[in-house]
Copies of this chain bind each other. A is one copy, B any other.
Amino acid sequence: MKARRAGDAGSGQIVISIHNEPQPTDLGDVRVANRAVVLRHVRLHAPCSRADIAARTGLNKATVSSLVSELIDQRLVRETGLTENRVGRPATMLVLDGEPYAALGLQIGVDELVAVAIDLAGNRLLTWRRAFTAAAVGPTETMRALAAVTRRAIGRVTAQGRTVLGLTVGVPGLVDPAGAVPLAAALGWRDVPVAADLRAALRQPPFAVGVDTVANLAALAEQRHGTYAGTADLVHLTGGPTVGAGIIAAGRLLRGGHGFAGEISHLCLDPAGPTCLCGGRGCLAALVGLPAVVARLLPDATADGPITDYLPELERIVALARQGDPTVLSGLAETGRQVGRAVAILADLLNPQVVVLGDHLATLAPWLLPAARSELAARSHAPDAGGCRLDASTLTAAAALGGATAALATVEAGRLPALT
């Protein structure tokens, strides 16, 4: 709807493109852009022939041939043994080459470290989850453990003969442009230079080491690999002790001026509500975060002292909900209403096509969604919530998967890997 052209006098809403910094373009940029077009076509439509690519992308056949040769040389694309029978000579079919490369995603969770590796086509090469309480052991020990997991994952894919294209670490907190974490309330962290520490621990590896919020990375995974893959305007809500919003707007992550966008934990839904870690009252996290939900639904859970591992409690809630426990069901409906109120604000402000719930909100979705959807419909301003759907994620280890996906971005943008 936004791709209108000049002279289209019949259009209603016209293109408003604010060129902050239009960049001069040259033939090299054209080649990079067209390489991205070819790679994307192969990713989405493999197996496909050179002629298919030319026909479907509008690039001429000679350009496609030249680009494909280069991509084959770089082992980003390979020919399959298959051919397609056509009039004339049979066409050789192309697929992304899944062998030579890997991208890694790591996630520092509140109670686990996660590592995911994928190949260029997005196939998972490994998914590791290791119980780990980062908040309890502090940043130094956490970074040491993260580096160990990362080295092991790099070792695994390298032993398969793969070159690592990059890695991205997801952190549940604010991440600045240098890859440092000024604040991660869920971990009790302040000013931890995650990217710099990890690069040092890996002895300045030849690939990019990125850091991003778990919310951003989970949104990226959702947009690429989830039920709503390909949706241009999508929000993923991460769960756990806090709640994060990974916002994809017009196909791109919305980061804001300093990279701090997507903080939704402290949205005040009830000025008279329970106290939040931040000192406020009735924040979204204090109402629908995992500890808040456990405290509401399982008031006896802390009888033996503070909870250190929420997974068993979450499983108990699911079991009680399945049994139809009325207290648990009404507590989940109330939680769903609060989720719905927050989603209605997102729908009004951002008008996404879908909001996807992750983590414990996804686990509890069968009981949260009915109330949440009603609240969304009732409270959002645009008719039919502006077309915003609300659903649960089906991905596991979404943030780590998103981290690995993010690490493929430069190659997918048409830049050739810097081989060592």
Contacts and interface: CB of A to CB of B under 8 A. Distances in A.
A302 interface: no
A258 B382 contact: yes
B266 A17 contact: no
Nearest to A406: B16
A407 B183 CA distance: 42
A211 interface: yes
Interface string A244-283: 0101111111111111111111111111000000101000
A89 interface: no
Interface string A227-242: 0001111000000000
A161 interface: no
- Interface bracket on A: 35 or more
B212 A263 contact: no
A413 interface: yes
A382 B183 contact: yes
Given A257-B232, A350-B261, A351-B258, A13 B381 contact: no
A81 interface: no
Nearest to A413: B17
Tallying the copies of this chain within the complex gives 2
A117 interface: no
A257 B271 contact: no
A10 B326 CA distance: 54
Given A168-B14, A209-B9, A259 B351 contact: yes
* Shortest 10 CB-CB contacts between residues of A and residues of B: A12-B179, A256-B351, A6-B415, A14-B210, A257-B353, A6-B410, A1-B177, A20-B251, A12-B195, A263-B348
